[in-house]
Amino acid sequence: MRIHILGICGTFMGGLAVMAKRLGHTVTGSDAGVYPPMSTQLEAEGIELMQGYSAKNLSIKPDIVVIGNALSRGNEEVEAVLNMGLAYTSGAQWLAENVLQSRWVLAIAGTHGKTTSSSMLAWILEYAGLKPGFLIGGVPLNFDISARLGESDYFVIEADEYDTAFFDKRSKFVHYRPKTCVLNNLEFDHADIFDDLKAIKKQFHHLVRTVPNNGLLVVPADDSNISDVLEKGCWSPIEKLCLHDSAEAQWHVENVSAGDETFDVYRQGELVGSVDWTLSGKHNVLNALGALAAANHVCVSPAIAVRALNEFKNVKRRMEVFAKVNGITLYDDFAHHPTAIKTTLAGLRGRVGDERIVAIIEPRSNTMKMGVHKETLLPSLALADVSFVYMPDAVDWSLDVNEHPAIHIISDMEILVQRITELATANDHFLFMSNGGFSGIHQTVKGLLE
């Protein structure tokens, strides 16, 4: 079958393309914006990419067109699909019908940590010899690929709450029907599609409704928003997670080091192992507990799972050290929400102590561009010694930094690069945070420092 994918360079759609190719289909795709790591992954798979959206791209006469959720009415190629009467579907629906059917799906949902937690879980199952399939919104360094079919019934998926397609406004995750489901956390995000937090809770409850009563829900013990979701109705067993000993939680940790590199894991009050890894941040400790609980549900012992975490290498663009130049460490991170920014900085601060942290932020997500988080963005940068926020002139909201002398608003990329490189000294830590390509600033700064 010839499958053509619109929005193929998104992390989800790119992973889907890889699996479709492995299933023996001829796969092509088009996209307006192409940047690594997804573009390089697709090229390595031999998948033909078409730059830009055009009716001409459909001259290949696909059997079906899979349309990503970034595409809407008015797009030339979408309009051509409709006008030509071509068969089309969403990425989530295609995945459910062609890959997930009859498999044991392990889904990771939540506002934050989905990619990292999914990568942890996939690696734990791989380490245990289960050879799972997976589709993750990033590239786990233990695999160097974001998606694969696997060789067992188990399939790990990053379960995104974003809408499915222009013709299906349900959250993508309602298509997946997991047997094991982790709800990491829940906050307001995606203001471009959700009116308020109540609307997001409704979609999360739709997900809860799909988990069978012989399945498992894994949730934090102290997230009031997730508690609200469960109060709407829950028909599955629940296991809870906590960062301290709690009568409510089946899983908790103790003896967490200052940088969160080491901690002891307890299940039902009994020590099951000690994690010693390269990650940082309390959020990642909680992510680890979720992955351990999910793996335990498919009979991977906590002892084996902990050993797997000790060999976990993280994910591309999740606190990824991409260069060390003249004593300066440069990190690339995907953080695009004030909570994620705050927890990422807290993890780095715990690891580097008093050494200087320079945070460089691009508020690029749709929610950020709308200014929804402008009141919490500046406080989220408190643990950085110096911060730069890139605010192009096209952004129609502003930040008041009068009470934050260490935070600088820059609207010109060249000036931003100049300011960063001028202040660089040995033992600095430069943390670049964006959910996009950030105009290649990482490599530009690296080159100038060299």
User: Mean of the pLDDT values across residues 356-378?
Assistant: 76
Please give the Cα distance from 58 to 81 (Å, whole number): 8
Report for 153-167, 315-329, 387-401: range of highest mean pLDDT = 153-167
Instruction: Tell me: pLDDT of 211 over 80.
Output: yes
Note the pLDDT of residue 372.
63
**Cα 12 to the center of its chain, rounded Å:** 10
Instruction: Tell me: pLDDT of 439 over 80.
Output: no
Note the pLDDT of residue 43.
82
Note the pLDDT of residue 243.
93
Q: List pLDDT tens digits, range 45-61.
A: 889 999 999 999 999 99
Q: List pLDDT tens digits, range 51-101.
A: 999 999 999 999 999 999 999 999 999 999 999 999 999 999 999 999 999
Q: What's this model's pTM, rounded to 2 decimal places?
A: 0.84
Note the pLDDT of residue 395.
65
Please give the Cα distance from 328 to 168 (Å, whole number): 47
Please give the Cα distance from 114 to 107 (Å, whole number): 9
What six digits make up the tokens of 319?
Answer: 């606190």
Please give the Cα distance from 22 to 68 (Å, whole number): 20
Report yes or no: 138 and 318 within 8 Å, Cβ to Cβ.
yes
pLDDT tier at 377, thresholds 50, 70, 90: confident
Instruction: Tell me: pLDDT of 340 over 90.
Output: no
Instruction: Tell me: pLDDT of 396 over 70.
Output: no
User: Mean of the pLDDT values across residues 438-450?
Assistant: 83
Which domains, from first to last, does the chain contain?
Answer: 2-90 (3.40.50.720), 102-309 (3.40.1190.10), 320-449 (3.90.190.20)
